[in-house]
Amino acid sequence: MAAPLIEPVARLIEAFARLPGIGPKTASRLTFHLLRAPETEARALAAALIAVREQVVFCERCFNISDRPVCSICSDPRRDVTRICVVEEPLDVLALERTSEFKGLYHVLHGAISPIDGVGPDRLKIRQLIERAEEAQRSGERFEEVVIATNPTLEGEATAMYLAERLESIVGSVTRIARGLPVGGDLEYADEVTLIRALQGRRAM
């Protein structure tokens, strides 16, 4: 009969296992790695986790991660304010920025519409996107293009269609990134060339 794990070790394994993409075996390996590692490594990890919670916020405009109320992209005067790219997660912003192809602003939804998982439009940052578009229209500087760059999954497609229906009357055009991305794939794992082709081949919805 296997000896029971002592409580601190069991708690750490359980905490790691709750992270996305980490199963029980990987959680156990990470935990025992930290037990064998120098104390400074464990303390550095703990300090980094605390700093993320205390110092990182979501941008008040686009909801990307930031260390201040308005992120560096939204506050950059060189960005094209007439174009906005809508993505599911902050990691997608990083992926698209690596291409240096898109020069406009972003809006992060923090997910995609998924009725099966109980995620409706009200659980995402969709209302805030509509309000941004309406405010831009009222100010006489409406968005000339909204690029929908949700992932090429069923949920991403459903979200794109939902957004297109609600944005088409208040923006110049609504486009969707082209099929340079594999169906079922995520933006964060795509290479730069694929992302550039997807952006260049975007089309009207």
pLDDT at residue 30 is higher than 60: yes
Q: Classify domain 71-204 by CATH number.
A: 3.40.1360.10
In sign, the C-alpha dihedral spanning 78, 83, 85, 86 is positive
pLDDT at residue 120 is higher than 60: yes
Cα–Cα dist 69/48, whole Å: 20
Q: pLDDT-based confidence at 205, cuts 50/70/90?
A: confident
Q: What is the pLDDT averaged over residues 83-94?
A: 96
Q: For 90-99, write each residue's pLDDT tens digit.
A: 999 999 999 9
What share of the chain in percent tops pLDDT 90?
A: 75
CA 12 to each of CA 5, 15, 26, 47, 188: distance values in angstroms, whole numbers, following the listed order: 11, 5, 12, 16, 27
pLDDT at residue 106 is higher than 70: yes
Q: Where does the chain hold its CATH 3.40.1360.10 domain(s)?
A: 71-204
Q: Classify domain 7-55 by CATH number.
A: 1.10.8.420
pLDDT the model gives residue 28: 95
Q: Where does the chain hold its CATH 1.10.8.420 domain(s)?
A: 7-55
Greater pLDDT, 21 or 3: 21
